[in-house]
Amino acid sequence: GYALSLRRRKMIEEAFGWIKTVGGLRKTRHKGLEKLSGQALFTFAAYNLTRLLNLMRPAVA
């Protein structure tokens, strides 16, 4: 149970780390809930696309 928890935690921390550094959500550019929500949605979608590309890449043996 604990080993699984550690693996899941690593996945979550990597995602939020990427979103804050690469995605630019550490310091937002917009004011207002609607604009910030849009930026967050766009950033999370970009992260999901990059993760999807890595998952679809064939494993090299």
Domain ranges of the chain: 2-56
- Which pLDDT score is estimated for 42? 94
Give dist(CA 4, CA 8) in Å, integer. 6
Contact 47, 15 (CB under 8 A): yes
At residue 29, the pLDDT reads 84
| Model pLDDT, residue 61 | 60
Q: Which amino acid is at 19?
A: I
The pTM is what? 0.74
Give me the residues of the chain with pLDDT under 70, please.
61
Task: Report yes or no: 30 and 36 within 8 Å, Cβ to Cβ.
Answer: yes
pLDDT at residue 34, rounded to an integer: 94
Distance of CA 8 to the CA centre of its chain: 14
Looking at residue 8, its amino acid is R
**Which residue reads 């766009």 in tokens?**
42
